[in-house]
Amino acid sequence: MALTDQRLIWTNPDATSSFKSLTIPLPSIVSSKFEQPIFGANYLVIGVKPTPEGGLTDGSTLEIRFVDTGMFRFVSILDKTRERAIFMKRQLVEDEEHLPEYTSPSTSSASGPASYADLPPGYDA
């Protein structure tokens, strides 16, 4: 399993299985629940919003269980990374929404170069 700043990636170590890998964009994780059963190892349940043609259905959940690694540290890192990915996605959307409107200057090839009314000191028209 790998965690990047954009997605959670799982690859199947069983080469004979038809299910090879799973990639989940971090903003697509809609819920997570850290389970601590009385008998048994801790695990994480994640609710995932499926991507178009990704193979998952609405309401898909998955369980993450580790055999030789602590779950609590992974959950902490996943939550922080997911929050950061969502924040960056929102910032990108906000930046795109507040761009100034672009207007192209009127060009006239017959009049030559454009003239500017407000020239810096020392420049002549």
pLDDT tens string 24-48: 888 888 888 888 889 888 889 999 9
> Does the predicted TM-score (pTM) go above 0.85?
no
Does residue 15 have a pLDDT over 80?
no
Mean pLDDT of the region 56-83: 86
The percentage of residues in the chain with a pLDDT greater than 70, rounded to a whole number, is 81
Nearest Cα residue to 31 out of 93, 69, 79, 81: 79
| Residue indicated by tokens 């199947």 | 12
